[in-house]
């Protein structure tokens, strides 16, 4: 019996993986992938304004956002949710914390990875997270790092869609039809009560990307129907036997 395929999503804050890659997570979970999600922070300082306005304490905010992330992960079929609680605004990893992420990458041995856009002047935690993801991917490939461990191969790193796309230099080259699992993604989004204002926003994003999926799968001359999709930008070249 062959080993199950795996994937790793690296999320700067507790809700990022839901808005931006929830469909990809749910779809691949249904296809038999063990999808691990690493949340580096709960977004407690910068992405929980609703809770602060309600007078919650820091510990209460973190506990609420953790519970939301856990509920969303369950709705999506996440294999394992790993929460590092490293703080946000700003997010920063020291060497030991980066090595802990390297350990997770080597443990998961993902067929593909996902993280944020390369540029995000509105939220520097996001672009910092992708720089760290690339650095840790590199370390995980190094035979001289913890010799004797299984080194990482060459998984693609997909960058999921940022919030204000036009400002980020993000250019999608992959569109994924998430229509079959849309109900799961919407349910996961509705677990994020700290950011209710984004539920319908990311529904509209998924509908817009569905239009792009249809246009790029054949357009008016027979494009595949699609109601909801997610877009991603790949970092590394692909190796193929046919186009």
pLDDT in tens, 203-235: 999 999 999 999 999 866 667 899 999 999 999
Distance CA 10, CA 31 (A): 20
Q: CB neighbours of 56 closer than 8 A, spacing ≥ 6?
A: 64
Among 31, 64, 36, 33, which Cα is nearest to 50's? 64
Rounded percentage of the chain residues whose pLDDT exceeds 70: 98
Question: Could you tell me which of 49, 16, 10, 18 has the C-alpha nearest to residue 188?
Answer: 18
The b/e string for 179-191 (b: 16+ C-beta within 10 A; e otherwise) is bebbebbbbbbeb
The residues facing 114 across adjacent strands are 9, 158
Least Cα distance to 152 among 6, 40, 12, 1 occurs for 6
Residue 133 has pLDDT above 50, yes or no: yes
* pLDDT bucket at 1, cuts 50 / 70 / 90: very low
Compute the mean pLDDT over every residue in the chain, rounded to the nearest whole number.
95
**Residue 59, token pair as written in the block:** 């510990």
What does the pLDDT look like over 60-81, one tens digit per residue?
999 999 999 999 999 999 999 9
Report the alpha-carbon distance of residue 94 to residue 100 in Å, rounded. 10
- In three-state secondary structure terms, 160 is strand
Token pair for 229: 């999709």
Helix (H, G, I), strand (E, B) or coil at 159: strand
Q: How many CB atoms lie within 10 A of CB 39?
A: 26
The pLDDT score that the predictor gives to residue 71 is 98
Q: What gap in Å lies between CA 219 and CA 164, rounded to an integer?
A: 26
Domains in the chain (CATH in brackets) are: 6-234 (3.40.50.10320)
Q: What is the pLDDT of residues 85-105, one digit of tens each?
A: 999 999 999 999 999 999 999
Checking 213-222 for CB contacts under 8 A at 24+ apart, the result is: 213/175, 213/176, 213/177, 216/175
Kindly provide the residue ranges of all beta strands, DSSP E only, lying in the chain, ordered along the sequence.
Answer: 6-11, 34-39, 80-83, 112-115, 156-160, 174-177, 229-234
Which two tokens mark 233?
């930008």
Cα–Cα distance measured from residue 40 to residue 28, given in angstroms and rounded to the nearest whole number:
22
């Amino acid at each position: 019996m062959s080993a199950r395929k795996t994937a790793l999503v690296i999320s700067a804050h507790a809700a990022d993986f839901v808005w931006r890659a929830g469909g990809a997570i749910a779809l691949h979970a249904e296809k038999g992938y063990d999808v691990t999600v690493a949340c580096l922070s709960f977004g407690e300082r910068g992405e929980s304004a609703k809770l602060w306005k309600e007078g919650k304490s820091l510990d209460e905010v973190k506990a609420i956002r953790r519970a939301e992330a856990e509920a969303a992960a369950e709705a999506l079929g996440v294999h394992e949710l790993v929460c590092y609680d490293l703080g946000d605004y700003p997010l920063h990893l020291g060497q030991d914390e980066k090595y802990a992420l390297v350990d997770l990458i080597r443990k998961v041995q993902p067929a593909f990875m996902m993280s944020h856009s390369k540029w995000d002047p509105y939220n520097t935690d996001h672009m910092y997270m992708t720089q760290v993801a690339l650095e840790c991917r590199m370390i995980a490939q190094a035979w001289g790092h913890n010799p004797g461990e299984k080194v990482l191969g060459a998984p693609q790193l997909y960058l999921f869609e940022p919030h204000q796309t036009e400002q980020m230099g993000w250019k999608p080259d992959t569109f994924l039809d998430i229509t079959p699992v849309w109900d799961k993604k919407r349910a996961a989004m509705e677990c994020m009560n700290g950011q209710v204002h984004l539920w319908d926003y990311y529904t509209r994003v998924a509908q817009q990307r569905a239009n792009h999926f249809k246009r790029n799968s054949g357009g008016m001359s027979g494009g595949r129907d699609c109601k909801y999709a997610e877009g991603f930008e790949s970092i590394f070249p692909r190796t193929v036997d046919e186009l």
